[in-house]
Structure 1
Amino acid sequence: MEVPHTYETLWRDVSPRPAAAPLTTAQKLLLPLGLLLFNWLFWAEKTGVNVLVYSLFIVGAQVGLLPRHAAARRTGLFWLAAAGSLFGGAMAAVYGSGAAVLATEASLLLLLGFANQPHLRLLAYALLTAAGGTLRAALAVPRAWQGRLLSGTGARRSWYYGRLLLGPLVVLAVFHGLFAVANPRYADLSGRALAAVENWLAQLWPDLSLGHLLFLGLGYVLTAGALVAVPVYYFADQESRLGEFVRRQRDRVASLGVRRPDFRARAFGALGLRKEWLMAAAVLGLVNALLLAVNIIDINWLWFGFVPAPDFDLAQFVHEGTYVLIFSILLAMALVLWFFRRNLNFYGPGLPWLRAGATAWVLQNAVLAVSVGLRNYYYVASRGLAYKRLGVCLFLLLTLFGLGTMLLKIWQRRSVYALVRLNFLAAYAVLLVLAAGNWEVWMARYNLRPGFASIDAGFLFDLPGRALPTLLAQRAALNQLPQLTSESYRGPVVISAADAQRRLDAAVDAWRQRQRTYTGWQGWNYADWQAAKMLR
């Protein structure tokens, strides 16, 4: 919620924004170097050492280009993002996983956001600041190369015309994708047209294609955003109006000396606050009683000695029940945020009772989250691990953390801004944990253990190449499982053990063939190197 401005905030809002200097000699050297490096590292390459090298380049450029007195150098979140960028790049060099790439990209964006506005504390605003600064830098660099300022009238004009150009192109791309999916004839004709453009570019420049041209454009935008700082103040100004704690709100109408009508007195006076407390107490009492009944049923049914019947549809029980219960927990959080958003936090006569009811509501939802985790566990124990099941586990951890921050809001009068800030930090920590895991190998190893009545063999064969040595080492388990399935557009299809063995050999051959196409060191990663060594 909004808090009154401090003198420092008011000065920052009304003071003129400093204009950024033109490009320095170092920036003019690093911009083409960064573009060439991006193209050399990533074009037609897989994930590997290239992510780590590019992260080192961006982090080094940011630290080297920052002045010694820059506020970002004294910001812990800036150094956290720098460490996360290098950690994600290192995990990409080890595993070559998509989670490591995602963690690196998020960390680099956070790094640029905190370098742009060091006083930011909300990670979401840092990401948005980095995105806005990157786009503005890409549009301002051509003018800045001529010695003009990066901010001011010229940059605003470039940003204005850039939006006029990019907006229609984005809309065109979205509708083109929709029409291509909905109309096969249109997709075929548009594909031919794009192929003709690529052929024309190939004749004009043999080593250049339309995809390569777009790739170079992406590299230019990223390099400009990483090396050239165009200040974006909007999100920093928005955050400066937010506080860590809820403050008591005075009635602005009364403070102006205006006589309020009776309905406003009832709505905003003490009587209205008491009515709001009565409504909150009634709602919390009823939903606590209802959730208590649900938790008692779940504890008696799921927590101790749960054995599904032979005809019990465990998949429907887990899928539908899990999603509904997760939505229920999120709705419960929204309910607490609504009741504790304003002056009800300061209603002395009924606040202890309201806090007790809200605390019981939060703790009961934590018990419900454990029940959801047990549903997920029973499914994993029966059908094996998959990406969604792993995602549910991590989401439940974040949910329990979020419920813990709800207690902070109830007992310490924390604001919604404080809760969002803490939960975004927790989500970033989970993303780094995801980047550090060799999840596909662990899933393959777990799913091939004896004791499963059925496993999705098609899912195992679609795992990345680093999981193939594990599958080959335990290929005998494919002959011992009672049932093997594979997903199709009609649903799960039962396959034979012999067919599974053939598909496994085909997956190994296809991966080896793909590996032969990568001759450079840019896409090298330890997991693929180890897999290739074991598959010889």
Structure 2
Amino acid sequence: MNALPLFTPTNTARAEAAPYAGPVWRPVRLVLTATQKWLLPLGVLAFDVLFWQQGLGLNLAIYTLLAVLALLAGQPRAAWRSGYFRLVLLGALVSCGAVAWYGSATAALACTGSLLMLWGYANQPPLKQAALALLTGLGAAAQVVTGLPALLLRALPSRDTKAGRAGWYVRLLLVPVLILGVFHMLFVLANPRYSQLVGRAWQALGEWLGRFFELLSLGHLLFLVLGLMVTAAALLRVPLPGLAQWEARFGELVRRRRDGVASFSVPRPDFRRRDFRTADLRKEYLAALAVFGLVNLLLLAVNAIDISWIWIDFRPEPGFDLAQFVHEGTYVLIFSILLAMGIVLWFFRRNLNFYQPGLPVLRWGATVWVLQNAVLAVSVGVRNYHYISRMGLAYKRIGVCFFLLLTLFGLLTILLKIWQRRSAFALVRLNSVAAYLVLLALAVGNWEVWIVRYNLTVGFPQVDYGFLLDMPGRVLPALVKHRAILNRTKHITRDAGGFYSLYEEVSPAVAQRMLDERVRRWQQRYQAQASWQDWNYMDWRAHQQLPAADKAPSTH
């Protein structure tokens, strides 16, 4: 099934499919093919070699590529016709490269989520919702994990005649082995040189067994079981049509319901009857018109204040708590925007979309409200900009920027719902794709290095140097490069610890020593623990650019 275009609605609403009466979860009997029987142990071995006692980096990229190749080797022809499958496949490859390049947690999250969604779309190509594809991938993996013990039991050799003959040969060799043991003990007592050689052999065997049993510790055995489950979930295919059939009930456009006129109903005054009388559609129209009209006036006043105060002439007074102004104000305004989107979805969810006498006025009122909420979102972005321009970049401030982009996109889809009668299903589909693209954008960004460069080169009077030093080791070359800026910074702070996250001010000399110590410790840890499994390019380049662990930098 071809994926629907992002912004072009179908000419007619999709007919509602019959409700899916079957269970979403149905146990299946797993069967291994001849190829899977030798791929499964190889996959477990690869999982153990790549991930045991290792961080995430090149190993996750390699395993992801192997899993994708195993999926594509199955020739999922129906999945190839889905645009969502192709998009997620591209996203898996991009996030795979981001893991090998940065080794960041965001890239690993994007890589893992892409794999699960890819398995979901391959399992059920008609799926459109990214969240349902993710749940389908998780459900299929859970089916494999729960059916794995029975599959392994069926793979054990049965008691046939061959096994009986093998037992007979073992019993036959038991007497010669006992005789060999008796002569071995006699030679040990009679020949000192033979006894010495035998002692060395037993010592070497004991050391090898010690290393072997140390390798097969309880933790390692559990890790091997985890590798078996992950590899089996990547190789085996189980049908899980429940979510896809449930999704098929929903259409792209709102359809007019003939069982009632309005979108809500009120009970009859006669409580002896159980049926309900549908409220007049005109009353709902008047209620929606009143909501849009009154809130538009209120939001107009708020936006006018924000534009004149925050956009044009923002001059905080002495002692003004900028952090509280941004944090609390941002959360409240974002909640206001989401609430406004929910109210629009509520009024335009059913037959009010077909009320021709007042539909143009209602649409324009809702459109003005959506546009004013977009202005409100921009005001939140301006607040965040003022905070960044005075305090510097941080993870949450970057996150707010991307969340506002998603919010503006969501408001755009609300306009599509108003003017094209899009359903809530269509809006969730579009916004889930946008959220996935934002996750990929976060995965491919070198955010920590950009934060360090911005915070140290703009010329802020105060720098939270402890926050910069707590970042991953790939930022250390940038910190060393810009270390001279510390001597020109008025206030250098670090986390003082404690429950209330207090900050203490340090001198430039102390900050320089903190940087030297951080570089020395990171270099020592990298030289001692780095391996090809958790290799990533940014850490390797940082190791090449930084001085050796026994030579702390002193150019300050």
| Fold in common (TM above 0.5) | yes
Partner Cα distance (1:4, 1:245) in 2? 5
Partner of 1:233: 241
Partner of 1:516: 527
> Does residue 274 of the first structure (1) align with residue 245 of the second (2)?
no
> Does residue 141 of the first structure (1) align with residue 171 of the second (2)?
no
TM-score (norm 2): 0.79
Q: 1:21 to 1:39 in 2, by over 3 A?
A: closer
Deviations 1:251-295, CA, capped at 9 Å, x for gaps: 179xxxxxx9889999755x6211111111111111111110000
Partner of 1:119: 126
> Is the CA contact 2:14–2:251 (under 8 Å) kept in the aligned structure 1?
no
State which structure, 1 or 2, has the greater radius of gyration over its C-alpha atoms.
2
Partner of 2:460: 452
Q: 1:24 aligns with which of 26, 33, 36?
A: 33
SS at 2:280 equivalent = helix
> Is the CA contact 1:23–1:147 (under 8 Å) kept in the aligned structure 2?
no
Deviates most, 440-449 or 225-234? 225-234
Partner of 1:532: 543
Count of residues in Structure 1 that have an aligned counterpart in Structure 2: 473
Q: Please give the root-mean-square deviation of Cα atoms over the aligned residues, in Å.
A: 2.9
Give the partner amino acid of 1:51.
L
Q: 1:304 to 1:31 in 2, by over 3 A?
A: same
Q: 1:279 to 1:266 in 2, by over 3 A?
A: farther
Partner of 1:86: 93
Q: By how many angstroms is 1:46 displaced?
A: 2.2
Partner of 2:81: 74
Partner of 1:396: 404
Give the partner amino acid of 2:69.
G
Partner Cα distance (2:276, 2:346) in 1? 16
Partner of 1:171: none
Specify every segment of 5 or more residues in structure 1 that has no aligned partner in the other structure, as ranges. Answer: 149-201, 254-259
Q: 1:14 to 1:309 in 2, by over 3 A?
A: closer
Deviations 1:293-349, CA, capped at 9 Å, x for gaps: 000000000111322222211111111111111111111111111111111111111
> Is the CA contact 2:13–2:252 (under 8 Å) kept in the aligned structure 1?
no
SS at 1:102 equivalent = helix
Partner Cα distance (1:421, 1:209) in 2? 46
Identity %: 56
Deviations 1:127-181, CA, capped at 9 Å, x for gaps: 0111111011012233345669xxxxxxxxxxxxxxxxxxxxxxxxxxxxxxxxx
Q: By how many angstroms is 1:11 displaced?
A: 10
> Is the CA contact 1:135–1:221 (under 8 Å) kept in the aligned structure 2?
no
Partner Cα distance (1:352, 1:220) in 2? 60
Q: 2:55 aligns with which of 46, 49, 54?
A: 46
Give the partner amino acid of 2:512.
Q
Matches within 5 A, 1:255-294: 269=278, 272-294=280-302
Partner of 2:250: 242
> Is the CA contact 2:117–2:134 (under 8 Å) kept in the aligned structure 1?
yes
Q: 2:504 aligns with which of 493, 502, 512?
A: 493
> Is the CA contact 1:385–1:443 (under 8 Å) kept in the aligned structure 2?
yes
> Is the CA contact 2:13–2:255 (under 8 Å) kept in the aligned structure 1?
no
Partner of 1:218: 226
Q: 1:527 to 1:492 in 2, by over 3 A?
A: same
Q: 1:425 aligns with which of 433, 437, 442?
A: 433
Q: 1:25 to 1:277 in 2, by over 3 A?
A: same
Partner Cα distance (2:62, 2:22) in 1? 42
Partner of 2:315: 307
SS at 1:517 equivalent = helix
SS at 1:303 equivalent = helix
Partner Cα distance (2:435, 2:19) in 1? 34
Partner Cα distance (1:505, 1:268) in 2? 77
Specify every segment of 5 or more residues in structure 2 that has no aligned partner in the other structure, as ranges. Answer: 1-11, 156-209, 262-267, 548-556
Deviates most, 22-31 or 525-534? 22-31
> Is the CA contact 2:13–2:251 (under 8 Å) kept in the aligned structure 1?
no
> Does residue 130 of the first structure (1) align with residue 137 of the second (2)?
yes
Give the partner amino acid of 2:253.
F
> Is the CA contact 1:92–1:100 (under 8 Å) kept in the aligned structure 2?
yes
Q: By how many angstroms is 1:50 displaced?
A: 1.2
Partner of 1:35: 44
Partner Cα distance (1:465, 1:436) in 2? 17
